[in-house]
Structure 1
Amino acid sequence: MTAKRTYTRHRAAAALLLLTSALAGAVTAPVQAETLQGALAKAYASNPTLTAARAGQRATDENVPIQKAAGRPGLDVTGSYSESILKPTISFTSPQRTVNAQANLSVPVYSGGTVRNGVKAAKIRVAAGQAGLRGTEASIFSQTVAAYMDVIRDMAIVSLNQANVKVLEVNLQATNDRFEVGDLTRTDVAQSQSRLALARSDFQTAQANLITSRENYIALVGQAPDALEAPPQLPGLPADPDVAVQVALKDNPDILSAQKQREARRYDVKAARGSVMPTVSAFTQAGYTNYLHSLGGTAQDAEGNAVEGPQINKQAAAGVQLTIPLYQGGRPAAQVRQNQALESQAIEQEIETERGVIAQTRAAYASWQASLQTIESSNKAVDAADLSLEGVRAENSVGSRTILDILNAEQESLNAKVQLVTAQRNAYVAGFSLLAAMGHAEADDLGLESGALYDPMVNYDRVKGKWFDWDFDSAAKPVATRTVDTPAQNANVDPQTARQP
């Protein structure tokens, strides 16, 4: 009787521990808790992949003024000073020294369409780059959501495994007590010891997974996760996969980028064809030469007196130049064929991107629906496993169940809860991935509280019409935050922030 009363006390303590762990998720998070929207805002502002993509887009913007420069006037001035070291022996008028200056102004009039089509291609690539930037933004957000949910999931799993270890420790103590009074056998003790050892191993694995998830979160967001709140409901999820695909085909940024790249290649072909066309340019030249009184020879004035000859020469000319290419070694044709092949490649890549987006959208929808069904089933499994565990413990107290039955029931209860938190994570990540595939998971869609959103058109409008050769930007400085000073993460879990089923 003493052994049974001792076991009953341990069983009550174990039940209280499980109840406490189960209720921990319902406790309100601290005021300083991090929200998913806050994590996305931090990633939006300082993730290096995203800030690098923005810098790359600014570089793409510069292709427009670069292409325009080929159709703008060109002005250059050259100057020289020469000193004759050895004068020609048969020349008596060659100068000893010379200062020369020359200015040339060239204005392209017609270039066979090369400049016009080059500018159009550059503008379309800007649009393609902006769509690609949207895709990068959605990709970073998807990774951040996955990392956020990974931390929440792994915190819950660590807490569940920690509670399981404590329950098994109580079970082992109770088993030892009953063994000492002859109520159980050595086999029962060994079974309890084995399950406790496996539970501790699973607990250590869960801790390692939590550390990995926290470090991955830091790599994406730039700061350590701190008391993560439950994520909000996802808006705008489609009713069926066909609707999702229709929206994705219209709004997915990767498809839009591929379409623009294909269109740009078409203008590349036209620009290459312009290399066989005549070109017309207007020009003007002016020159100034001063022999610094070193030019030999004399002249006579009106009275016949010998005077020094002219020491300054000025000249100016203006005209129109027509260039008709007759033969360039086959280079123009090769360039046209090359760009035609690249246009064909862009067409195939557009189809490839479309295929990938359709598959991604349908797969994300299927994963989302499957996870929702898994959540429903897992909730039932958790309730049934908890009820079964209580029944097995009660039956063991009257001798109709063995210690192994209790251990198996406890393991089933743990597995059901782990499956539930995993399904909750998978459902949310799949739902967000579905929105991303549809093109509706960007900063504008999420309402981030990060101040003014990055607008790539601001930089494009700033640089598209620049003419001045010395209009440089300031030196490059890092935008993304470094994480070298972030402390190494641990697997500590606050019971008030670990959400469990």
Structure 2
Amino acid sequence: MLCVVAVANLVMIDLSAAETLQEALVKAYQVNPQLNAERARQRGTDENVPQALAGYRPQIVASLSAGLQAVRNLLPDNTVQGATLRPWTIGVTVNQILYNGNKTANSVRVAEFQVKSGREALRNVGQGVLLDAVTAYMNVLANQALVEAQRANVAVLREIQTTTKRRLDAGDVTPTDTAQAEARLSRGLADLNAAEVVLAISKATYAEVIGQPPSQLVPASTVDGFSPNALAAAREASSHEHPAILGATFDVDVAQTTIKVAESSLLPTVSVQASASRAVQSDSTLSTTNTDQASVIGQLNVPIYDGGTAASQTRQAKELTSQSRLVLEQVRNQTRTAVVSAWVSNEGTKVALTAAESEVRAAGIALQGVRREASGGQRTTIDVLNAQQDLTNARTRLIQSQRDRVIASYTLLSAVGRLDVQVLKLETPDYLPEVHYHQVRDAWHGVRTPSGQ
């Protein structure tokens, strides 16, 4: 497999303090706030299922009323009788829906499809975070090599400037040669400063994505072995594995089932209500001071006309279903395009890298030849400066090609839908959203989350 290395051993790495790309990906997978926020969103989506299942369960309400009641009675003999009463009532009511047009059953199905869609959305975000981490890592690694390449270029230009001044003092060259050497040195210093600025920015991006500043980064390998070996196979794999497509498929299921939920409002509802209560009166003039009641009542509600609300909601759900199908087709097209683009880019980086390696070798040989010829008087100072600039440019393109080569291989893996912890075999526990789902699915009570919050 290909490894990205600093050109001409420009970067020396202390392996004892080194950080590999796999280690950086583990950190991003564990602490990236975008990914953790998406996990929290998915845990919230899980709660849709127990909320829907609550429709199968009884609703129990206890009531208690008590207070003071002032009574003033005018008797036939024009006498007034007054009293302060303290009545109170306690009761409990149980409501159970027996049939509601299968609204509860379909609501549970909608919630379960939402959970499945959310899991694919979480997986898609995870792919994006890992790809961002790879990009941030490779940018820092490449920019460090570019800074060292520019420093090496500045050192060579200083040497050429010093040599040119000595030759000017000896009368071998003209002031034009020294001016050319000084101009190239100034350009080299400006290029070095620009490279250092870009490196600082890439380090800040790295800390944002990975969660901490970069340390000593080591060469990274491509992941071509995890991707299909042909474009047709990559497109076929993405159609079955990419989380965006799978999530959009579940969204269609959500929309289709929502139609049935809306239609349930047009069907009868059957429920039963049981209640028990005790009322206590403290009025001594009454013949009854305590009243105990218990009842079981069945109720049938048949909708006749609700102003057209349920019908409108049903039509709306059907239109949203059509939309979700079109979105699914759009996602499929976008994914196919992304696979082709990633495949072509990945193949293109192979060619670019081979060409850049050949260019560096040729530019190095050319520089050596020009410097030998210049020492013999057959070449001018500007020829040496141009050859040095050609070598520096070639090294820059090689470093960029090495970076692009690794990023492209990960981009292809992401386009196929395989950029995850298990495929990459990262040494970290995989976040399993189904664990939280099963923890809360059948919870009948309690407000604390499984994480203790």
Which of the five TM-score ranges fits, normalised by the shorter chain? over 0.9
Tell me which residue corresponds to 1:16.
Answer: none
1:373 corresponds to which letter in structure 2? V
Cα separation, 1, equivalents of 2:75 and 2:326: 72
TM-superposition CA deviations, 1:252-281 (whole Å, max 9, x none): 011101100111111111101001110001
CA contact under 8 A between 1:21 and 1:159: conserved in structure 2?
A: no
Tell me which residue corresponds to 2:16.
Answer: 31
Query: After the TM superposition, which residues 31-110 of structure 1 pair with which residues of structure 2 at under 5 Å, given as runs?
Result: 31-87=16-72, 96-110=85-99
Query: After the TM superposition, which residues 289-368 of structure 1 pair with which residues of structure 2 at under 5 Å, given as runs?
Result: 289-291=279-281, 293-297=282-286, 309-368=287-346
CA contact under 8 A between 2:7 and 2:145: conserved in structure 1?
A: no
Cα separation, 1, equivalents of 2:401 and 2:322: 43
TM-superposition CA deviations, 1:412-439 (whole Å, max 9, x none): 1011111011011111101101001111
DSSP 3-state at the match of 1:70:
helix
Question: Which of residues 8, 12, 16 is equivalent to 1:22?
Answer: 8
Cα separation, 2, equivalents of 1:476 and 1:256: 32
More helix by share: 2
Cα separation, 2, equivalents of 1:362 and 1:424: 21
Cα separation, 2, equivalents of 1:473 and 1:459: 9
Query: After the TM superposition, which residues 173-322 of structure 1 pair with which residues of structure 2 at under 5 Å, given as runs?
Result: 173-234=162-223, 235-291=225-281, 293-297=282-286, 309-322=287-300
Query: After the TM superposition, which residues 392-407 of structure 1 pair with which residues of structure 2 at under 5 Å, given as runs?
Result: 392-407=370-385
CA contact under 8 A between 1:96 and 1:295: conserved in structure 2?
A: no
CA contact under 8 A between 2:10 and 2:149: conserved in structure 1?
A: no
Tell me which residue corresponds to 1:14.
Answer: none
Cα separation, 1, equivalents of 2:123 and 2:116: 11
**Identity in percent:** 31
Cα separation, 2, equivalents of 1:246 and 1:475: 39
Greater RCO (Cα-Cα under 8 Å, separation 6 or more): 1
> Is 1:430 aligned to residue 419 of structure 2?
no
Alpha-carbon distance change, 93 to 333 in structure 1, aligned in 2, over 3 angstroms:
farther
User: How far did residue 467 of structure 1 move?
Assistant: 0.9
Cα separation, 2, equivalents of 1:244 and 1:346: 25
Cα separation, 2, equivalents of 1:416 and 1:81: 90
User: How far did residue 475 of structure 1 move?
Assistant: 8.2
CA contact under 8 A between 2:222 and 2:405: conserved in structure 1?
A: no
CA contact under 8 A between 2:268 and 2:303: conserved in structure 1?
A: yes
Cα separation, 2, equivalents of 1:425 and 1:86: 91
CA contact under 8 A between 1:124 and 1:264: conserved in structure 2?
A: yes
> Is 1:120 aligned to residue 109 of structure 2?
yes
CA contact under 8 A between 1:432 and 1:441: conserved in structure 2?
A: yes
Cα separation, 1, equivalents of 2:84 and 2:292: 16
Cα separation, 2, equivalents of 1:82 and 1:257: 57
Cα separation, 2, equivalents of 1:288 and 1:250: 63
Tell me which residue corresponds to 1:9.
Answer: none
> Is 1:413 aligned to residue 391 of structure 2?
yes
Alpha-carbon distance change, 128 to 89 in structure 1, aligned in 2, over 3 angstroms:
farther
Alpha-carbon distance change, 192 to 90 in structure 1, aligned in 2, over 3 angstroms:
farther
Query: After the TM superposition, which residues 123-134 of structure 1 pair with which residues of structure 2 at under 5 Å, given as runs?
Result: 123-134=112-123
DSSP 3-state at the match of 2:292:
strand
Alpha-carbon distance change, 95 to 337 in structure 1, aligned in 2, over 3 angstroms:
farther
Q: Which runs of 5+ in 1 are unaligned?
A: 1-19, 298-308, 478-501
User: Please, what TM-score do these two structures have when normalized by structure 2?
Assistant: 0.94
Cα separation, 1, equivalents of 2:72 and 2:92: 28
Query: After the TM superposition, which residues 127-166 of structure 1 pair with which residues of structure 2 at under 5 Å, given as runs?
Result: 127-166=116-155
Question: Which of residues 419, 425, 441 is equivalent to 2:419?
Answer: 441
User: Please, what TM-score do these two structures have when normalized by structure 1?
Assistant: 0.85
User: How far did residue 296 of structure 1 move?
Assistant: 2.0
2:119 corresponds to which letter in structure 1? Q
User: How far did residue 357 of structure 1 move?
Assistant: 1.0
Q: Which runs of 5+ in 2 are unaligned?
A: 1-5
TM-superposition CA deviations, 1:109-151 (whole Å, max 9, x none): 0011111111001001101111111111111100000111111
Cα separation, 2, equivalents of 1:213 and 1:273: 55
2:205 corresponds to which letter in structure 1? N
Cα separation, 1, equivalents of 2:130 and 2:371: 46
- RMSD (Å) for aligned C-alpha atoms: 2.0
Cα separation, 1, equivalents of 2:280 and 2:15: 84
Cα separation, 1, equivalents of 2:345 and 2:174: 47
